[in-house]
Amino acid sequence: MWLRSLHPRILSPSLSRLHYHPTRACLRFYSDATTKSAPPPPITKVEKLVLDSIKATGPIPFATYMQLCLSHPTHGYYTNPNHAVFGTRGDFTTSPEISQVFGEIIGIWFLSQWVSAGKPERVRLVELGPGRGTLMSDILRVISQVTKSVNPVRAVHLVETSRPLREQQAVVLERRVASRSNLHWHDAVDEVPPAPDTYTMLVAHEFFDALPVHVLQKTQQGWNEVLVASSLEPLKDPRRAESTTPDSTDLDSETAPDSAMVYPRLRRVLSPAPTGISTVLGASSPRFQAMAEGTTIEVSPAAYRIGRKVGEMVAGGKRETGVDEAAVENNVKGTVGGCGLIVDYGGAKVHEDSFRAFKNHEIVDVFHRPGECDLTTNVDFAFLSEAMGDLVKTHGPISQRTFLTRMGLDVRMEALALAAEGDKEREGGLKTAAKRLVDPLGMGAEYRFMGITSGKEADEVWPFVEQLG
């Protein structure tokens, strides 16, 4: 999904109505109410729900908007079976779909951690947001090839809300496990059961970027929240008594449109005062406290909560809530814990304006066709590290290029080229794919790897060494 990782500079507030065309490499304005020649597209199911909710109770947080658009049980972007989410026919392509070496190298890293942990007898794999199941399939294949008859994998836990994607995952993964009963699906990360006697290998690739964020803006009064309001209601000056939105400041437009043809039908407003949520989230990281007035930040409490749970799972044993302490004490190896990799675009910092929407490999307005476009934000890896830092060790993030190169991408590619047995077309395809994964001007730089270990291993874990990412 490389396009989703476009540098946020392109997405600064003044350009929020830009739409990026990758082949022509040009930016053009998304047509708005005053300039368009065609009528606005018909209202989507999710759009109607959002507008009804705003009408009933007022502007809603961005997090609610994102949640409805992506995960509404039947009409959400990931949950609607009619959406071709991935691949050239879909809206984006992800690294595991580009080349099998991506998953293989992740599998090798897992195995190296497992060996350092003393090869615990039982292993489980946990993946958050497995998409088409490609990454997990590649990881399982390499683990089975390397460990052969002593393959320690006992269970695979997949955290996936989308029913259609679960079906695709089942088809791909069934042949990689001893029995179908080893595959377990969960709606939420909290549902993955504790396993104090089992080593956990956890991966989340392009999962955290899909979690809902709240958008906060620092004002004289503290952190106020940027909310989603209807553009169909007359826009009024909030200082006037007759205003229909007396409690919020319009952030997108100074003038009221006089036509019901307005599009997009949603817009941003600023809450007139800090809300309960914005106050709590504004205090949720020491990094946010000293920020200057006027700063906007995207904060995901869901990412923090899930990050904490990831820490508990990787720490394993006593750290997991509700585990049988006796079972942990009886664990003869005493090394059971785990390791994890979180891979996504973003950095070790909070992002100001990375919220964006995708349709057919193009950036579109975040309020365009709600429920039919992918919505995403850059991941704040520092926030994830803060969430789990007292439970596990976190490493990096380092760039995808650094991770893959240091883990031996070239060697693996050579092996694959040899296996291509002179098929020049195949060899060329392999090379192009590998180049794309580590492109310093693209995926190689935009995507980051954060490592997680349960703390019994050395402080520095390869390839996460010395700020070389």
- Residues of this chain that interact with ligand SAH (CB under 6 A) are 70-71, 78, 94, 96-97, 129-131, 135, 159-162, 165, 205-207, 210
Q: How far apart are CA 396 and CA 420, in angstroms?
A: 35
Question: Which residues are CB-neighbours of 388 under 8 A, at least 6 positions away?
Answer: 307, 308, 310, 311, 312, 314, 394, 452
Q: Smallest distance from the beta carbon of 405 to ligand SAH, in angstroms? A: 20
371 in Cβ contact with 77 (< 8 Å): yes
Q: How far apart are CA 309 and CA 301, in angstroms?
A: 12
Name which of 118 and 164 has its Cβ closer to ligand SAH. 164
Q: How far apart are CA 98 and CA 95, in angstroms?
A: 5
Q: Smallest distance from the beta carbon of 74 to ligand SAH, in angstroms? A: 14
Q: Smallest distance from the beta carbon of 341 to ligand SAH, in angstroms? A: 12
Name which of 161 and 224 has its Cβ closer to ligand SAH. 161
Q: Smallest distance from the beta carbon of 175 to ligand SAH, in angstroms? A: 19
Q: Smallest distance from the beta carbon of 267 to ligand SAH, in angstroms? A: 25
Name which of 72 and 401 has its Cβ closer to ligand SAH. 72
* 451: exposed, middle or buried (Cβ count in 10 Å: 0-12, 13-18, 19+): buried
Across 203-238, b (16+ Cβ under 10 Å) vs e yields: bbbbbbbbbbbbbbbbbeeebbbbbbbbbbeebeeb
Q: Smallest distance from the beta carbon of 165 to ligand SAH, in angstroms? A: 5
Taking the CA atoms of 358, 360, 362 and 365 in sequence, report the sign of the dihedral they define: negative
Q: How far apart are CA 277 and CA 286, in angstroms?
A: 16
Name which of 117 and 192 has its Cβ closer to ligand SAH. 192
Name which of 76 and 274 has its Cβ closer to ligand SAH. 76
Helices (H), 255-408: 276-282, 286-289, 301-315, 325-329, 381-388, 400-406
Question: Which residues are CB-neighbours of 13 under 8 A, at least 6 positions away?
Answer: 296, 353
Q: Smallest distance from the beta carbon of 130 to ligand SAH, in angstroms? A: 6
Name which of 223 and 358 has its Cβ closer to ligand SAH. 358
- Cis check: omega of the bond before 397, within 30 degrees of 0: yes
Q: Smallest distance from the beta carbon of 127 to ligand SAH, in angstroms? A: 7
Of the candidates 189, 163, 171, 217, the one whose C-alpha atom is nearest the C-alpha of residue 13 is 217
Name which of 96 and 107 has its Cβ closer to ligand SAH. 96
Name which of 51 and 342 has its Cβ closer to ligand SAH. 342
Listed in order, strand segments (DSSP E) in 14-149 are: 18-21, 26-29, 60-61, 123-128
Q: Smallest distance from the beta carbon of 220 to ligand SAH, in angstroms? A: 35
Helix (H, G, I), strand (E, B) or coil at 406: helix
Other CB atoms closer than 10 Å to residue 331's CB: what's the count?
18
Name which of 157 and 267 has its Cβ closer to ligand SAH. 157
Q: How many CA atoms lie within 13 A of 233 on its CB side?
A: 24
Question: Which residues are CB-neighbours of 196 under 8 A, at least 6 positions away?
Answer: 316, 317, 318, 320, 323, 324, 327, 328, 331, 336
Helix (H, G, I), strand (E, B) or coil at 103: helix
DSSP state of 465: -
* 293: exposed, middle or buried (Cβ count in 10 Å: 0-12, 13-18, 19+): exposed
Name which of 312 and 344 has its Cβ closer to ligand SAH. 344
Q: Smallest distance from the beta carbon of 232 to ligand SAH, in angstroms? A: 29
Name which of 288 and 381 has its Cβ closer to ligand SAH. 381
Q: Smallest distance from the beta carbon of 412 to ligand SAH, in angstroms? A: 19
